[in-house]
Amino acid sequence: MLSSITLKFTEHQDLVLPASGITIFVGPNNSGKSLALKEVESAFTTHPFPANTLMLRDYEVKWQDETEIDAALAKFEQYSDPNPSIGNRTIGRINPNGGREAGQINLETLKVIAKEKQNKNWWATQFLRWGVLRLDGRSRFNLTNDQSGGDLLAAPTNVLAHLFQDDVARKKVRELIKDAFNLTFAIDPTNLGQLRIRLSGEGALTDEQSLNDAARN
C-alpha cells in the first residue's frame, strides 16, 4: 500500500521511513506518535494532499499491475451494488465501529492511473483508502463488544459477523490469539442474534457454526 512516508521536523532534516513490514513509533506522551498516524489517515481521505499537516510531508505508494488490481477488486464483491454506474465497480469495508462503508470507482480510470504511475494522491484517496484502518482507544475496545449476528444469508455488517462467516479470517485471528495468550479464540453464537467473544484454556471441540451440545459446552 505505502512504500514510504516522509515526516518533517522543526529542528532536524526530513525523515523518510520505509513502510514495509511493521513500523513502531516509540516516544513519550505528546511526542507526535498519534498525530503522525492521524495525518497518514488524512492523506488517504483528502484530495488533494491536505495542506495543514504538521508532521507528514509526503508519501510514496506501491503501484499495482492489472492482475493485482483485479485480485483486489474481487475481495470487494460482497459490497457489490445491484445498479452500479456504467463502467464502475463498488468497493468498501466494514467500519470497526460497526456498519458498512462503500463507494464506486471507475475501472478504466483506475487502471490507467495505475499504469501511468503519476497521480499517487488520486490512487491513495480513491482506491487504497479502503485498506486503511486507524484504531484508537475506543474503536479497539469496540472490536471486543458483543455485536449483532445479523442475517447469515446477507453480507456481514460488523467485524464479529464477518469473522463468524469467514473461516479463513477466523483461523488467522485464532492463531494470533493462541500465540499471544495461549488461549483459544471463539465467536459464541449461543445468545441467538448476538455474537460474543469467548477465550478458553481448552481447544474448541467443534467450530462456531455448530449449536449442538458439545459446541455449547
pLDDT tens for each residue of 20-73:
888 888 989 988 888 999 999 999 999 889 888 999 999 999 999 999 999 999
| In a shared domain, residues 126 and 149 | no
Residue, of 82 and 35, whose pLDDT is higher: 35
pLDDT value at 200 more than 90: no
Q: Please indicate, yes or no, if residue 162 is contained in any of the structural domains.
A: yes
pLDDT of the residue at 138:
82
Sorted by sequence, the CB contacts under 8 Å of residue 208 that are 6+ apart come out as: 164, 170, 186, 187, 188, 189, 215
Domain of 117, in residue numbers: 66-131
For residue 181, tell me if it sits in a domain.
yes
Question: For residue 135, what pLDDT is reported?
Answer: 84
The percent of residues above 70 in pLDDT, for the chain, comes to: 98
Mean pLDDT on 113-125: 94
Query: Rounded to an integer, what distance in angstroms lies between the CA atom of residue 3 and that of residue 73?
Result: 21
148 and 201: one domain? yes
Domain identity same for 54 and 77:
no
* 168 and 200 belong to one structural domain: yes
Q: Where are the alpha helices (DSSP H) in the chain?
A: 33-43, 66-74, 107-116, 120-126, 137-142, 159-165, 167-181, 213-216
The answer to whether residues 46 and 125 touch, using CB atoms and an 8 Å cutoff, is yes
Nine-digit cell at 198?
Answer: 469467548
Picking from 116, 27, 28, the residue whose alpha carbon sits closest to that of residue 65 is: 116
148 and 211 inside one domain: yes
Q: Which of 119, 115, 104, 100 is nearest to 73 (CA)?
A: 104
pLDDT given for residue 205 in this prediction: 60
Residue 203 and residue 148 share a domain: yes
Residue with cell 444469508: 153
